[in-house]
Amino acid sequence: MLAYVARRLLLIAPTILGIMLISFVIIQFAPGGPVERVIAQVSGQDTSATARFSGGSGSDLSAAQTQRGASNDPITSKYRGAQGLDPEFIKQLEKQFGFDRPAHERFVKMVWDYARFDFGRSYFRDIDVVDLILEKMPVSISLGLWMTLISYAISVPLGIAKAVRDGSRFDVWTSTVIVVGYAIPSFLFAILLIILFAGGSFLDWFPLRGLTSDNWNELSLWGKIVDYFWHLTLPLIALGISAFATTTLLTKNSFLDEIRKQYVQTARMKGLTENQVLYGHVFRNAMLLLIAGFPGAFIGAFFTGSLLIETIFSLDGLGLLGFESVVNRDYAVVFASLFIFSLLGLVVSLISDLSYMWVDPRIDFEAREV
């Protein structure tokens, strides 16, 4: 057991290194970059709705307006739209973003910094990357955590009920509803909810912006709780429309597999009630996959982001942050997020494997190939 855990831990470093290397190489061939992004802003060519620049590059933008001039310098010719800008200004941008050094040096420096958990600052926001991620996490935690808990709380009992009533009208109708809900895109359902309940065309019952109201600090404790869930109601419903299918059907199929085994028939022949058989014998074996997968789902819920849902309901979370960082070529945020979430994913994967042993001690990790 300890040998297996040690091997998995030792594999984390080369796995993350491979992920970062592949991503870094892909980025080198991707068109555009932070330098081109600033140049586009200076030249008035950037029409992106998500372009948000502040802090360090803001002063460069204002300074650049006075540093224009005709130049055929090679350093300006390698950047699209740089013609007419002062080559010294371009060199300053390259130095600011670290592009004055070869790619391999930049990669080695990035890996060394990340190994010390030094993620630097955002290129276009005057804030540390870690602080920026922490700033966006409340939205993602609220959506991911509550959606995970609600999904398990509904899907597991429903899956058990469907397994017990397999083939009945209840089973058929609930399967139909689940499949239809799974097929409906969450963003379309979100728009429908806004039209119906958020002042679109009919009722105006729910807010459309943020996690709390403007008078949050003036509310009592109970008032804050109600206000918080009042803002979350529509986003959670929109996300939940397709969240139950996988867990519900997995629970049902797991229970059906166990119910048909010989030990269940033996338990019934001993005179045990159906509930004693179901929850005393079947439940633990049938829930093996779900229980083992819960740590990953639970911890992952803290770092999930839904771009479309966050955009539709004006929630500034990790999903929107990731999209804007990619569009704005904020590589500091992109690579730091990739490193953090990859590391977290590998650790959670190990925790999930160990959960199998906790649920079923018969599983022998020492005999497994890594």
Q: What is the pLDDT of residue 47?
A: 47
Same domain, residue pair 79 and 225: no
Q: What is the pLDDT of residue 54?
A: 42
Same domain, residue pair 86 and 231: no
Section 333-343 average pLDDT: 89
Q: What is the pLDDT of residue 172?
A: 92
The whole-angstrom separation of Cα 311 and Cα 320 is: 7
Identify whether 357 is part of a domain.
no
Amino acid letter for position 71: S
What are the tens digits of pLDDT across the range 90-105? 788 778 888 888 888 9
Section 360-369 average pLDDT: 61
User: How far is C-alpha 265 from the chain's CA centre?
Assistant: 44
Identify whether 241 is part of a domain.
yes
* Total structural domains within the chain: 2
Lowest mean pLDDT among 64-78, 126-140, 259-273, 351-365: 64-78
Task: Identify the domain boundary among 291, 312, 327.
Answer: 327
Q: Mean pLDDT of all residues in the chain?
A: 80
More reliable by pLDDT, 148 or 40: 148
What percent of the chain has pLDDT above 90?
A: 12
> Nearest Cα to 239, choosing from 300, 307, 290?
307
Q: DSSP string covering 177-199, please? A: HHHHHHHS-HHHHHHHHHHHHBS
> Nearest Cα to 19, choosing from 107, 149, 150?
107
Contact criterion met (CB below 8 Å) for 242 and 182: yes
What percent of the chain has pLDDT above 70?
A: 81
The whole-angstrom separation of Cα 140 and Cα 223 is: 22
Section 282-305 average pLDDT: 70
More reliable by pLDDT, 285 or 17: 17
Same domain, residue pair 149 and 217: yes
Q: What is the pLDDT of residue 301?
A: 64
Beta bridge partners of 121: 128
Q: What is the pLDDT of residue 212?
A: 85
Q: What is the pLDDT of residue 68?
A: 45
Q: What is the pLDDT of residue 359?
A: 66
The whole-angstrom separation of Cα 267 and Cα 258 is: 12
Section 287-291 average pLDDT: 73
Identify whether 56 is part of a domain.
yes
Task: Identify the domain boundary among 50, 83, 98.
Answer: 98
Same domain, residue pair 194 and 296: yes
The whole-angstrom separation of Cα 255 and Cα 201 is: 44
Lowest mean pLDDT among 51-65, 172-186, 220-234: 51-65
Identify whether 212 is part of a domain.
yes
Identify whether 164 is part of a domain.
yes
Range of the domain at 269: 136-327
CB proximity list for 310: less than 8 A, separation 6 or greater: 139, 143, 316, 317, 319, 320
Same domain, residue pair 162 and 237: yes
Q: Is the pLDDT assigned to residue 268 strictly greater than 70?
A: yes
Same domain, residue pair 143 and 242: yes
CATH code, domain carrying 295: 1.10.3720.10
Same domain, residue pair 238 and 293: yes
Lowest mean pLDDT among 171-175, 217-221, 345-349: 345-349
Q: What is the pLDDT of residue 108?
A: 92
**Token pair 């200004």: residue:** 89
pTM: 0.74
Contact criterion met (CB below 8 Å) for 280 and 158: no
Q: How confident is the model at residue 34 (pLDDT cuts 50, 70, 90)?
A: confident
Same domain, residue pair 208 and 294: yes
The whole-angstrom separation of Cα 288 and Cα 36 is: 51
Q: What is the pLDDT of residue 363?
A: 66
What are the tens digits of pLDDT across the range 136-177? 888 888 888 888 888 888 988 998 899 888 889 999 999 999
Q: What is the pLDDT of residue 319?
A: 82
Please classify residue 47 by burial: count the beta carbons closer than 10 Å to its beta carbon, then call 0-12 exposed, 13-18 middle and 19+ buried.
exposed
Task: Identify the domain boundary among 327, 342, 358.
Answer: 327
Same domain, residue pair 62 and 180: no
The whole-angstrom separation of Cα 280 and Cα 162 is: 18
Identify whether 207 is part of a domain.
yes
Same domain, residue pair 306 and 174: yes
Identify whether 335 is part of a domain.
no
Q: Is the pLDDT assigned to residue 193 strictly greater than 80?
A: yes
> Nearest Cα to 178, choosing from 267, 122, 248, 89?
248
Same domain, residue pair 190 and 251: yes
Q: Strand, coil or helix: what is 242?
A: coil
Identify whether 198 is part of a domain.
yes
Lowest mean pLDDT among 160-164, 181-185, 207-211, 287-291: 287-291
Instruction: Compute φ and ψ for 101, nearest 5 degrees.
Output: -115, 155
Same domain, residue pair 219 and 286: yes
Question: What are the angstrom distances between the C-alpha of 304 and each of 161, 174, 214, 236?
Answer: 30, 28, 26, 13
